[in-house]
Amino acid sequence: SIVRHYKFNVVKAQATKLCSSKPIVTVNGKFPGPTLYAREGDTVLVRVVNHVKYNVSIHWHGIRQLRTGWADGPAYITQCPIQPGQSYVYNFTITGQRGTLLWHAHILWLRSTVHGALVILPKHGVPYPFPKPDKEVVVVLGEWWKSDTEAVINEALKSGLAPNVSDAHTINGHPGPVSNCSSQDGFTLPVQNGKTYMLRVINAALNEELFFKIAGHKLTVVEVDATYVKPFKIDTILVAPGQTTNVLVTADQNAGKYLVAASPFMDSPIAVDNLTATATLHYSGTLAAAPTTLTNTPPQNATPVANNFTNSLRSLNSKKYPATVPQTVDHNLLFTVGLGINPCPTCKAGNGSRAVAAVNNVTFVMPTTALLQAHFFKIGGVFTTDFPGQPPHVFNYTGTPPSNLQTTNGTKVYRLAYNSTVQLVLQDTAIIAPENHPVHLHGFNFFAIGRGLGNYNPKTDPKSFNLVDPVERNTIGVPSGGWVAIRFRADNPGVWFMHCHLEVHTTWGLKMAFLVDNGKGPNESLLPPPSDLPKC
Ligand code: C2O
């Protein structure tokens, strides 16, 4: 293993899409940003220099950050933001992980343009547990907003209403010919007949889960969230914001041009931006100008298509890559996730109220000092450790919502002893909108041991849990009006954010943090902070 040095200059760049042009915040002037390559076991040093007028922080989404929480990145959780003109070196070692992840800004809505792929290759000489592809291609899915995303969310917070949706989806930064204004702006993936390609598909969009498919070609799923899965073939995959999926695709069809499509999934009555981003799979030697083979994308509410993919996922669970599912549980937790309403006298458009979101009825309030600093330096008054392990009032989540939709505000964490095991059931409250919430846990991978619709039943549902080969991930969709059960081992001391990766819900408060104490052993404590850790 080696030490790899990267330099991320956060700079403004002018970008033109859909017939309009705007300055965007980027890393090194690129959208999507540069791909960061490393190998399992490597130490990565990324020097982030902030040349823009916004505060910045960068998160290495899915990297375990064992004992190095200072490098995790969420602003006001593990670090104060990097202020204009300042820099910070993220220093972490990649332990026991290989595969596709992503990095992104983790402050306000900056990640709309500040994101990129993080590719961890296996150690030298270690093969993939599937036939080696002839070529690998990074495919970053995103959104494009004609307006400034910081203005979009600030406006929504002022009015109390839901923010606007994006103007297009993108594949590697390109919407594809979705309108006259983008007829020339598509991504092309050149292929050669008979060859196999591994696509590292990443959803970096702010607010939309996306279906992804290629006309005429089956996708063989081999990895999600940088963990190997039992390979299976499927037409359409579903990738939520923050999730990654590696698929193999063989150019085994007649030479031609095939449409590649990314379209939104929203299993609730809420209207979303339904523009499909398109790209082209282009067999070499084909001269046709436009894709010759098209495909239908699933409708926005195609829950069966989503379930077909999700229910097919199993850990590889081989000798070399065993599924280390905790078989016993120290903390048995039930968290509700969903929306709510809070009074807001200044919200004119919202009629005196505003949309909020909560976990176990707590709408998380961002502190003004990073939680990890407060924890490490024992600064009082920044957070409390009374995050409830069970919902404050139990109700029928799929029936009539409670008459009081109000949540409580707080900066509360849930405390875990080092190496304790956690079973966490995430229950969608279906209040206001039954909606799929892609929940991301920092600092850990977890096993998705169960999933169901309606109310979680603690007596009967555990009987169907998969404790053998459940899929291992870092971001999981809590089904609309349903629940998921996950397990993980709290073997990483520090403060770890957990939140809905739909940025609008994070902003509204669908977030909380776990505090994991130090262990007693020699390598079981959070390391001290680096000397250049930003100050608030
Ligand atoms: Cu990818 Cu806390 O996020």
Res 433: pLDDT: 75
| Cβ neighbours for 319, distance < 8 A, ≥ 6 positions apart | none
* Closest C-alpha to ligand 1, atom 3: 61
Res 30: pLDDT: 97
Q: Which domains does the chain have, with CATH numbers?
A: 1-124 (2.60.40.420), 130-315 (2.60.40.420), 331-516 (2.60.40.420)
Give 104-138 as a DSSP string.
EE-STTGGGTSEEEEEEEPPTTPPPSSPPPSEEEE
Going from the Cα of 68 to the center of ligand 1, the distance in angstroms, rounded, reads: 16
Going from the Cα of 31 to the center of ligand 1, the distance in angstroms, rounded, reads: 19
Res 50: pLDDT: 98
Res 15: pLDDT: 95
For the chain, count helices (H), then strands (E): 4, 32
pLDDT band at 271 (very low <50, low <70, confident <90, very high): low
Sheet of strand 244-250, all strands in order from the earlier edge strand to the far edge: 168-171, 135-144, 196-203, 244-250, 219-224, 227-234
Distances (CA, A) of 489 to 385, 501, 508, 511: 19, 22, 28, 20
The owner of tokens 């139990």 is 394
Average pLDDT of 409-438?
93
Phi, psi torsion values for 110, nearest 5 degrees: -60, -20
Residue 188 confidence (pLDDT) above 70: yes
Work out which ligand 1 atom sits closest to the CA atom of 62: 1
Res 274: pLDDT: 61
Going from the Cα of 254 to the center of ligand 1, the distance in angstroms, rounded, reads: 41
Residue 270 confidence (pLDDT) above 70: no
Average pLDDT of 170-186?
88
State if residue 64 touches ligand 1 by the CB under 6 angstroms criterion: no
Average pLDDT of 152-179?
88
Res 437: pLDDT: 95
pLDDT band at 492 (very low <50, low <70, confident <90, very high): very high
State if residue 494 touches ligand 1 by the CB under 6 angstroms criterion: no
Q: Quick one: what percent of the chain has pLDDT higher than 90?
A: 80
Average pLDDT of 114-130?
98
H-run or E-run covering 503: helix 503-508
State if residue 511 touches ligand 1 by the CB under 6 angstroms criterion: no
State if residue 242 touches ligand 1 by the CB under 6 angstroms criterion: yes
H-run or E-run covering 304: helix 303-310
pLDDT band at 184 (very low <50, low <70, confident <90, very high): confident
Work out which ligand 1 atom sits closest to the CA atom of 73: 2
pLDDT band at 375 (very low <50, low <70, confident <90, very high): very high
Residue 273 confidence (pLDDT) above 80: no
State if residue 213 touches ligand 1 by the CB under 6 angstroms criterion: no
Q: Quick one: what percent of the chain has pLDDT higher than 70?
A: 97
Mean pLDDT of the chain: 94
* Assembly ipTM: 0.99
Work out which ligand 1 atom sits closest to the CA atom of 497: 2
Going from the Cα of 333 to the center of ligand 1, the distance in angstroms, rounded, reads: 22
Residue 334 confidence (pLDDT) above 80: yes
Average pLDDT of 100-128?
97
Res 398: pLDDT: 73
State if residue 115 touches ligand 1 by the CB under 6 angstroms criterion: no
Work out which ligand 1 atom sits closest to the CA atom of 111: 1
Residue 384 confidence (pLDDT) above 70: yes
pLDDT band at 288 (very low <50, low <70, confident <90, very high): low
Going from the Cα of 55 to the center of ligand 1, the distance in angstroms, rounded, reads: 17
State if residue 442 touches ligand 1 by the CB under 6 angstroms criterion: yes
Exposed e or buried b per residue across 221-239, where buried means at least 16 C-beta atoms within 10 angstroms of its C-beta: bbbbbbbbbbbeebbbbbb
Residue 404 confidence (pLDDT) above 80: no
pLDDT band at 412 (very low <50, low <70, confident <90, very high): very high
Res 285: pLDDT: 86
Residue 403 confidence (pLDDT) above 70: no
Res 10: pLDDT: 98
Work out which ligand 1 atom sits closest to the CA atom of 242: 1
Q: Which of 251-260, 394-403, 439-448 has the lowest mean pLDDT?
A: 394-403
Q: Decide: 192 and 283 in contact? Cβ < 8 Å.
A: yes
Work out which ligand 1 atom sits closest to the CA atom of 506: 2
Res 214: pLDDT: 96
State if residue 499 touches ligand 1 by the CB under 6 angstroms criterion: yes
Residue 312 burial (10 A CB sphere; 0-12, 13-18, 19+): middle
Encode pLDDT of 25-71 as tens digits: 999 999 999 999 999 999 999 999 999 999 999 999 999 999 999 99
Residue 422 confidence (pLDDT) above 70: yes
Q: Distance (Å, rounded) from C-alpha 345 to C-alpha 353?
A: 7
Res 468: pLDDT: 98
Encode pLDDT of 322-332 as tens digits: 999 999 999 99
Q: Decide: 25 and 116 in contact? Cβ < 8 Å.
A: no
Going from the Cα of 241 to the center of ligand 1, the distance in angstroms, rounded, reads: 9
Average pLDDT of 182-198?
93
State if residue 497 touches ligand 1 by the CB under 6 angstroms criterion: yes
pLDDT band at 123 (very low <50, low <70, confident <90, very high): very high
Going from the Cα of 430 to the center of ligand 1, the distance in angstroms, rounded, reads: 23
Average pLDDT of 306-314?
97
Average pLDDT of 86-109?
98
